[in-house]
Chain A
Amino acid sequence: MRVRVDRENCVGHGRCYSLAPDVYSDDERGHCVVGPEPLPRNLEAQARLGADNCPESAISLDDTRPPPPGADGPRG
């Protein structure tokens, strides 16, 4: 899985690094910085949690495999 953050859209809500601190961190302004690359498999769920909770939809996941069974749908 690859994680990308659109720095244009990130406004520093900080949900990603609060909920998934092993994948996301914050720069000086509190905007999102994506962590380890390549992303270890065991952090994929965290990556998804952070992306799902970005109010600006600034995080995109490039995942060639289907989401695990029981994963949450598009609604909150």
Chain B
Amino acid sequence: MQDERRDPKTARVNLFDPKIASDPQPFYADLRARCPVARSAYKDSPVVSRYEDVAWGLRQPEIFSSAMEKEMALGTERPMIPQQIDPPAQTRYRRLLDPHFSRRKMEALAPAIRRQANALIDRFEARGECEFDSEFAVPLPCGAFLSLLGLPLADLPAFLEIKDDIIRPQKRKGVPMLPIPEAAAIRAEGGRRIYAYFERLIDERSAQPRDDLTSSLVHAEIDGEKLERSEILDICFLLLIAGLDTVTATLGCSVAWLARHPEERHRLVDDPRQIPAAVEELLRWETPVTMVPRIAKQDVTLHGCEIKQGEMVTFLLGAANTDGEHFRDPDRVDFARERNLHLAFGAGPHRCLGSHLARMELRVALEEWHRRIPSYEIRAGETPVYSLAIREVMYLPLVWSPHR
């Protein structure tokens, strides 16, 4: 990397290096300092890493478009709504959807999530150990998703399987990486299953509305017109893809960090009122959703580097969130940070639709976990395993003393 320092324009970076997943911050620092617009070894596409540039780019949908369902190839037949739609059409969908995901609405789900969190902890508390990912971080957000859409908890296993087929098709084959065509085939099949599931659900809720999001969508109108069936499907597809893995990853990253930092953890146990601030600071430091992609709609020159029209641009949220030009003492995890303008939920018109749901889930989960299991650590000799791009801690063995 030293040799490339002289000409940052030719620097190539491998965003999918497994080392980066578990310890990304040094990589981010190097990138920001050395080549604020680097080139990804994957598809030779530009990678933007400084806070100022990332925040700017995410607020310029007319330059950096989100219309990229083909490039993402997540098994969808049409763009996911509203994530893969640009304003002004996106704005109309957000006006419809934002009220369903407001902080107030999400807080109303908190008691249900609290019960679900405790039901999960009941299963393993007395054992004195658990594998945090599969026993807590994965099922909790899925339960929240099912509650939100008004679906039976019995459907959880089926949802987990479809979600994995789409987000991590390699998992089905038990290998770290799959050739692109094979992955695409598994994703497409997962996509078909999602469409079929939600088709059925829309039929049911059209016939017999209930007090849930699906029923609201069936009866919702934009500018006096009901949503097309395909639009409802494209919204549900997004909720499934965006709502499960991200909170799972954030729970894993946060608890893995707290397991290794008992002093800070004890502070939360002693004073749970600090948990909301801890959630924000761990979102900043860990940034589990490390990057968001866009497509350049025009040629742009940034720091003397050319971004060509049609190129996929990666905005590295994790690098932005640890930028010392923006954050004071960026490498210190400080729950008392007075000003925390992290971009973990993005910025601009596509600000994460589910950010209030995520924050509520994270807060409730950390409250209940630390109330019931205040002292825990990573099992001696074990190393947590982080996945790439969305940093799910796929293996996090925790131990505690069951009799306190």
Contact = CB atoms under 8 A, between A and B. Distances in A.
A29 to B, nearest CB: 4
Contacts of B59: 56
Contacts of A26: 102-104
Contacts of A12: 98, 102, 351
Contact of A29 (B98, B338, B341): B98
A75 interface: yes
Interface string B331-375: 000000111111101011101000110000000000000000000
Interface of A: 11-14, 17-18, 26, 28-31, 49, 52-56, 72, 75-76
Interface string B31-43: 0000000000000
Residue in A11, A13, A28 with the greatest tally of chain B CB atoms within 10 Å: A11
B279 to A, nearest CB: 11
For the residues of A in contact with B, the DSSP-based class is: loop
Residue in A28, A49, A55 with the greatest tally of chain B CB atoms within 10 Å: A55
A30 B338 contact: no
Contacts of A54: 341
A17 B104 CA distance: 11
Nearest to B323: A76
A75 B323 CA distance: 11
12 contacts: A12-B102, A13-B355, A26-B104, A29-B99, A30-B101, A30-B356, A52-B339, A53-B339, A56-B347, A75-B327, A75-B328, A76-B338
Contacts of B337: 76
Contacts of B404: none
Nearest to A75: B328
A76 B326 contact: yes
Contacts of B343: 55
B345 A18 contact: no
A49 B338 contact: yes
A76 B328 contact: yes
B98 A30 contact: yes
A11 B351 contact: yes
Contacts of B276: 18
Given A30-B103, A75-B328, 18 more contacts: A12-B351, A14-B103, A14-B356, A17-B103, A18-B103, A26-B102, A28-B99, A28-B102, A29-B102, A52-B338, A55-B341, A55-B343, A56-B348, A75-B327, A76-B326, A76-B327, A76-B338, A76-B340
